[in-house]
Structure 1
Amino acid sequence: MPPQLTVSGGIDELLDLLASGAPADAFEDFLDDARRFGVTGATTTDMKAAVWRAMRVHTQIQRGRVREAGLTALVDAARDLALPYDSVGGLLHAIARRARHLLSMDMAYITIVDQEHGCVQVRAADGHTSGLSVGLRLPADDGITTVGPVTTAPFATHDLLADDQIALNPAFEEMVRVEGLHAMIAVPLSCGDHSTGRVPRGRLYVASRKVHHFTADERSLVGSLGILAAIYLETTHLRLAADARAAELEARLAQVSRTAERFREDCDLQASLVDMLVSDGDLRTLVATAADSFGGRVTLYTAVGDVLVTAGDGQDDGDDAAALATAVEMLTQDPAAAGGGRWVAPLCAAKDYVGALVLSAPGDLSPAARKRLRLYAQMASLFIRRDKLTSGHDGEVRDRLLDDALSDERRVPRLLTERARRIGLDLSRPYLMVVARPDGSIQSRANAWGSAYARRKGGLRSCRNGHLILLLPGSDAGPVARDVAAAMAADLGKPVSTGAAGPLTGAESVQRGYREAIRCLDAVTALGVEGGAGSARELGFVGALVSADHDVAGFIEAALGPVLGYDRERFTDLVPTLQAYFDAGGSPTYAAERLHVHTNTVTRRLDRIKELLGPDWQKPAQALEIQLALRLLRVRETLTAQPEALAVGT
């Protein structure tokens, strides 16, 4: 400044200093010059006051510039944080970096509450740190406790270790010493109102390794950054959750699309197979289509294990016995693995096992492929059924006749007789009822076998309550029952017990013959003869004793029926004669004395009994049954007459 500066010149120079943004030292130099050289028209005190005013203006201008720079940095931080981050961790690292640069501090880190473990975890850090690394777990209070009421408001300290208003966790205090931290400011990452007591999800810490007194502007900047960070954290959480939900929905949509495509393919396959069925396609075409679909070899077997048709490439070692054994044991039509790269699906028509489809293909079958294999098996069953209907060999109509006869005893016999006549069966001729009880594991095969057997013999077949029922032409029940048991054991590989009744005539005898055959089967089973066969004539009174229902009336009728009927129709005394004859030890003379008739009369009655019961009625086996029937008949008569006798006695 030149000597003897005027007041106006001094003011102009001060304004120039303010306009040029001169540092505070320039104003102090100006004041020193004014003291040394003086100012024309003003005292030193006046000039000093002017300089101090200029310095205050300079301070305000500088503060405004600092605030402007801080706001600019805050806006830049907002732009940076608004970017779409791929993860919350990336956003947290960006927040820590921006916070450190915003205050020009040494380090910054962010802790997030870990509710599961009851602590907080360092999720992001920026600056040179050695102890406060990402993943570090700190106490629930972050290791810093402020004296006074607990609050979520921001706090700041110029020196962590020297501030009496702050208590440090011992472990955290040691870390502070290792890091050499002094000044620290912290803000909650929460966009909620602190007065509501809402616990922040985390905190942002900015620290310096020097003692630093945070200004109000610095507190305001870092607080604003905390609010922005909380908002961006929330929006990032929502966006990532929405993205995850969208990805999940896209995956589900893709799955639904794949399912719909498979469903469409299944529908197309079903339509093509139905077209093949109704357009007189044959089994060979069906099997060839299946073999091409699976890229293997497909073979169809009958119920007895004979090959119907085979097609395709693959192993053909002829060893499908294990697969067929698996098929006959299966309770559902779902395909099953049979070992050796084979898959088997049973062919079933209603309750009957009609065969099996065996696929030989490399690798495993997916659930969708198993469904396709089951569809091919079902269509093969329909092809076989169609071919049987076309060739006139299907036994469904015949079997339904026996089902109806057994299910409703009140059905008019004349109608059943007429229906039987229409399918070529004359129920007025002698027939037999044979009942078998196959094991559950071969039930389906036994039903299929029974259909074929009944057709060969010109009879009928039905299935009820686990029993295989056969109505067969014939007059001798015993040999037929044994033939059925032997044939089933040979074809099915397991012994099967049978019971038979007959000969029977007329549709009205079907129910009675079925019950009698069941009694014989129960008797054979009770006697423990596995695979045995018997009829009412062979079992005799043993059947009445050991069968399940103990049909005494049926046994008496079987042993004495013709004699009882003769006495009822002609009012004769053949039954009393039989009783007297056996009571007399087989002597006609003593029997005549008991009856008070002539010996010739007894002889003539015995001849009539021989005509009714057959020539063997006096042989030990039949005589024993006749005597047992007479004894049972006598007991029944005694029990019937007992109430009258008691009434007379009273």
Structure 2
Amino acid sequence: MPPQLTVSGGLDELLELLASGAPADAFEDFLDDARRFGVTGVATTDVKAAVWRAMRVHTQIQRGRVREAGLTALIDAARDLALPYDSVGGLLHAIARRARHLLSMDMAYITIADEEHDHVQVRAADGHTSGLSIGLRLPADDGITTAGPATTAPFATHDLLADDQVGLHPAFEEMVRVEGLHAMIAVPLGHGDHSNGRAPRGRLYVASRKVHHFTADERSLVGSLGILAAIYLETTHLRLAAEARAAELEARLAQVSRTADRFREQCDLQTSLVDLLVSGGDLRTLADRAAASFGGRVSVYTAGGDVLVTAGDGQDDGDDTAALAIAVEMLTADPASAGGGRWVAPLCAAKDYIGALVLCAPGDLSASARKHLRLYAQTAALLVRRDKLTSGHDGEVRDRLLDDALSDERRVPRLLAERARRIGLDLSRPYLMVVARPESSIQSRTNAWGSAYARRMGGLRSCRNGHLIMLLPGGDAGAVARDVAAAMASDLGKPVSTGAAGPLTGAESVQLGYREAMRCLDAVTALGVEGGAGSARELGFVGALVSADHDVAGFIESAIGPVLEYDRERFTDLVPTLQAYFDAGGSPTYAAERLHVHTNTVTRRLDRIKDLLGPDWQKPAQALEIQLALRLLRVRAALSTQPESRAVNS
């Protein structure tokens, strides 16, 4: 400043310093010059006051510029945080980075509360850190406690270790010393307004390795950043949750669409198969469609294992025996794997097995494909039944005649005879009624076997209450019962008890023959002969006396049990002696002749029998029970040997 500066010149220079944004040192230099050279017409104290006012204006201008820069940085941070982040972690890293640059500090980190485990975890960090790494767990209070009541407001300290108002957790204090931290400011990251007392979801920490007194503007900036960060965290969380929900809904929609497509395919296939039935299509057309649909070979078999039709390409070694065996044993119409790339679906009419559809195709079948195969099998069963009806040889029509005759005794015999005549069965000729009781595990196989056997013999077949009932031409009920029992034991692999009645003539005898055959079957079952067969002639009076409710084995044991036990243990012949004694009319002499032994031998045996059965064994009441027990033993022995001998002879 030149000597003797005028008032106007001094004001112009002060204004120029303010306008140019000169540093504070320039104003101090101006004041020094005014003191040395003076200002014309102005006292030194007035000059000094003017300079101090100018410096205050300068400070306000500089503060405004700093605020402007801070707000600009805050706006940039808001723009950065408003970007759509793929994860909350990415947003947290952006917040930490912006906070550190906003205050020009050394480091920044963010902790998120884990309320379930009562601790906080460092989720993001920016700047050079060695101890505050991502994933670090800290106490629930972040390792920092402040004097006074707990609050969610921001706090700041110029020096963590020297501030008496701040307490540090020992582990956190050690980390602060290692990091060399001094100044720190923290703001909560929550849901915006915390007036309801809800704890913040997390905290943002900005720290410096130098002692620093935070200004009000710095506190305001970092507080504003904390509010923005909380808002963006919440919106990002909601957006990501909405996107996850949308993705889940899209996945469900895709699943529903796939289900709808499969359902549409199923409906289209059902429609096409119904059209095939209505239009008079045949098994060949059905097999061709199935083979083209699955890309393999399709074969349709009868219940007897005969091939009805085969279509398509693929392995054709004819080895479908295992698949057919599985089909016979299946209790449902659902397809099953038979191994070797083969799938089998039984053809069923009501509960009867009438055949099987075998698919030989590469790879596995999906659930949808198995449903399609079941539809093809059901359609094949309908076509087989339709073809039998059309040809006039349908076994179901024949069997329905026997069902009707057994279910309604009031039917006019003449009408039944007429219906039988229409299918080629003359009920005026002798016929037999055969009833078998198979195990439940082979029920379906027995029914299928009975259908084939009845057709082969020119008779009828029915199923009632778990029994196989057959009306067969013939005149010897016992022989037919033994033939049927032996054939079932051979073909089915398990013994099946059988009862028979006849010969019968006339439609009016169907009910009578059925009841008599059932009584014979009950007698065979009550005698405990597994796989036994008999008619009224073989059973004699036993068939009329014994039913399923009586304990035959227990009766025999109570009557002659000690004698049976004595023979088993000592290999004696007391039971044959008893039989010979009663057959000889109670004469020991004639009994000895029958047994080809001496009379004294018979006498000694009778004395032993007396010791075993008691002194009253020859009295009429006990003697009758003994004779009945002996008779039952004979019948059981005869029945138990019949099926085996028949199987050997065949």
TM-score, structure 1 as length reference: 0.81
**Following the alignment from structure 2 to structure 1, what is the Cα–Cα distance between the partners of residues 293 and 333?**
19
Identify which range, 143-152 or 505-514, moves more after superposition.
505-514
**Following the alignment from structure 2 to structure 1, what is the Cα–Cα distance between the partners of residues 286 and 132?**
73
Could you tell me which residue of structure 2 aligns to residue 34 of structure 1? 34
Could you tell me which residue of structure 2 aligns to residue 179 of structure 1? 179
**Following the alignment from structure 1 to structure 2, what is the Cα–Cα distance between the partners of residues 500 and 324?**
31
Query: What displacement does 1:264 show?
Result: 2.1
**Following the alignment from structure 1 to structure 2, what is the Cα–Cα distance between the partners of residues 409 and 202?**
89
Match status 1:199 vs 2:208 = no
| Deviation readout 1:191-246 (Å, 9 max, x if unpaired) | 33222111111111111111111111111111111111111111111111111121
Letter in 1 for 2:449: W
Could you tell me which residue of structure 1 aligns to residue 58 of structure 2? 58
In 2 relative to 1, CA 493–311 (structure 1 residues): closer, same or farther, beyond 3 Å? farther
Letter in 2 for 1:263: F
Query: What displacement does 1:344 show?
Result: 1.5
Letter in 1 for 2:21: G
Query: What displacement does 1:116 show?
Result: 3.5
Question: Retained in 2: the 8 A contact 1:328–1:441?
Answer: no
Query: What displacement does 1:41 show?
Result: 1.2
Question: Retained in 1: the 8 A contact 2:526–2:549?
Answer: no
Could you tell me which residue of structure 1 aligns to residue 503 of structure 2? 503
Could you tell me which residue of structure 2 aligns to residue 248 of structure 1? 248
Question: Retained in 2: the 8 A contact 1:328–1:442?
Answer: no
Identify which range, 452-461 or 88-97, moves more after superposition.
452-461
**Following the alignment from structure 1 to structure 2, what is the Cα–Cα distance between the partners of residues 69 and 216?**
15
Match status 1:85 vs 2:85 = yes
Percentage of identical aligned residues:
90
Query: What displacement does 1:133 show?
Result: 1.4
Query: What displacement does 1:328 show?
Result: 1.4
Query: What displacement does 1:331 show?
Result: 1.1
**Following the alignment from structure 1 to structure 2, what is the Cα–Cα distance between the partners of residues 70 and 206?**
16
Could you tell me which residue of structure 2 aligns to residue 556 of structure 1? none
In 2 relative to 1, CA 287–492 (structure 1 residues): closer, same or farther, beyond 3 Å? farther
In 2 relative to 1, CA 517–118 (structure 1 residues): closer, same or farther, beyond 3 Å? farther
**Following the alignment from structure 2 to structure 1, what is the Cα–Cα distance between the partners of residues 372 and 518?**
43
TM-score, structure 2 as length reference: 0.81
Could you tell me which residue of structure 2 aligns to residue 328 of structure 1? 328
SS in 1 for 2:126: strand
Letter in 2 for 1:34: A
Could you tell me which residue of structure 2 aligns to residue 313 of structure 1? 313
Question: Retained in 2: the 8 A contact 1:303–1:445?
Answer: no
SS in 1 for 2:298: strand
Could you tell me which residue of structure 2 aligns to residue 12 of structure 1? 12
**Following the alignment from structure 2 to structure 1, what is the Cα–Cα distance between the partners of residues 187 and 141?**
13
Question: Retained in 1: the 8 A contact 2:497–2:530?
Answer: yes
**Following the alignment from structure 1 to structure 2, what is the Cα–Cα distance between the partners of residues 104 and 411?**
109
SS in 1 for 2:244: helix
Query: What displacement does 1:407 show?
Result: 3.4
| Deviation readout 1:1-43 (Å, 9 max, x if unpaired) | 1111122322221111111111111111111111111122122
**Mapping of 1:98-137 within 5 angstroms?**
98-137=98-137
Letter in 1 for 2:322: A
Question: Retained in 1: the 8 A contact 2:329–2:445?
Answer: no
Match status 1:431 vs 2:431 = yes
Could you tell me which residue of structure 2 aligns to residue 213 of structure 1? 213
Could you tell me which residue of structure 2 aligns to residue 257 of structure 1? 257
**Following the alignment from structure 1 to structure 2, what is the Cα–Cα distance between the partners of residues 407 and 390?**
26
**Following the alignment from structure 1 to structure 2, what is the Cα–Cα distance between the partners of residues 323 and 529?**
34
Question: Retained in 1: the 8 A contact 2:183–2:209?
Answer: yes
Question: Retained in 2: the 8 A contact 1:187–1:226?
Answer: yes
**Following the alignment from structure 2 to structure 1, what is the Cα–Cα distance between the partners of residues 186 and 410?**
96
Could you tell me which residue of structure 2 aligns to residue 228 of structure 1? 228
Question: Retained in 2: the 8 A contact 1:420–1:427?
Answer: yes
Query: What displacement does 1:340 show?
Result: 2.0
**Mapping of 1:489-568 within 5 angstroms?**
489-505=489-505, 507=507, 509-549=509-549
Letter in 1 for 2:168: L
Question: Retained in 2: the 8 A contact 1:495–1:530?
Answer: yes
In 2 relative to 1, CA 195–519 (structure 1 residues): closer, same or farther, beyond 3 Å? same
Could you tell me which residue of structure 1 aligns to residue 292 of structure 2? 292
Question: Retained in 1: the 8 A contact 2:190–2:202?
Answer: yes
**Following the alignment from structure 1 to structure 2, what is the Cα–Cα distance between the partners of residues 356 and 115?**
64
**Following the alignment from structure 1 to structure 2, what is the Cα–Cα distance between the partners of residues 488 and 63?**
110
**Following the alignment from structure 1 to structure 2, what is the Cα–Cα distance between the partners of residues 523 and 153?**
98
SS in 2 for 1:121: strand
Question: Retained in 1: the 8 A contact 2:327–2:345?
Answer: yes
Query: What displacement does 1:442 show?
Result: 2.8
Could you tell me which residue of structure 2 aligns to residue 140 of structure 1? 140
Match status 1:352 vs 2:348 = no
Letter in 2 for 1:255: Q
Consecutive unaligned residues in structure 2, runs of 5 or more: 552-584, 586-623, 629-650
**Following the alignment from structure 1 to structure 2, what is the Cα–Cα distance between the partners of residues 81 and 322?**
69
Query: What displacement does 1:69 show?
Result: 1.0
Letter in 1 for 2:125: A
Could you tell me which residue of structure 2 aligns to residue 370 of structure 1? 370
SS in 2 for 1:39: coil
Query: What displacement does 1:253 show?
Result: 1.8
Letter in 2 for 1:264: R
Letter in 2 for 1:381: A
Letter in 1 for 2:536: A
In 2 relative to 1, CA 192–486 (structure 1 residues): closer, same or farther, beyond 3 Å? same
Letter in 1 for 2:18: L
Query: What displacement does 1:410 show?
Result: 5.5
**Following the alignment from structure 1 to structure 2, what is the Cα–Cα distance between the partners of residues 204 and 176?**
16
SS in 2 for 1:195: coil
**Following the alignment from structure 2 to structure 1, what is the Cα–Cα distance between the partners of residues 544 and 208?**
109
**Following the alignment from structure 1 to structure 2, what is the Cα–Cα distance between the partners of residues 148 and 507?**
110
SS in 2 for 1:343: strand
Question: Retained in 1: the 8 A contact 2:183–2:210?
Answer: yes
Question: Retained in 1: the 8 A contact 2:526–2:550?
Answer: no
SS in 1 for 2:195: helix
| Deviation readout 1:128-152 (Å, 9 max, x if unpaired) | 1111111212111111122222222
SS in 1 for 2:315: coil
**Mapping of 1:383-398 within 5 angstroms?**
383-398=383-398
**Following the alignment from structure 1 to structure 2, what is the Cα–Cα distance between the partners of residues 460 and 255?**
52
Query: What displacement does 1:54 show?
Result: 0.9
Could you tell me which residue of structure 2 aligns to residue 643 of structure 1? none
In 2 relative to 1, CA 309–420 (structure 1 residues): closer, same or farther, beyond 3 Å? closer
Consecutive unaligned residues in structure 1, runs of 5 or more: 552-584, 586-623, 629-650
The RMSD of aligned alpha carbons is: 2.7
Question: Retained in 2: the 8 A contact 1:519–1:548?
Answer: no
Could you tell me which residue of structure 2 aligns to residue 96 of structure 1? 96
Match status 1:481 vs 2:481 = yes
Question: Retained in 1: the 8 A contact 2:191–2:201?
Answer: no
Could you tell me which residue of structure 2 aligns to residue 304 of structure 1? 304
Number of residue pairs aligned between Structure 1 and Structure 2: 559
Query: What displacement does 1:486 show?
Result: 3.1
In 2 relative to 1, CA 392–325 (structure 1 residues): closer, same or farther, beyond 3 Å? same
Question: Retained in 2: the 8 A contact 1:81–1:91?
Answer: yes
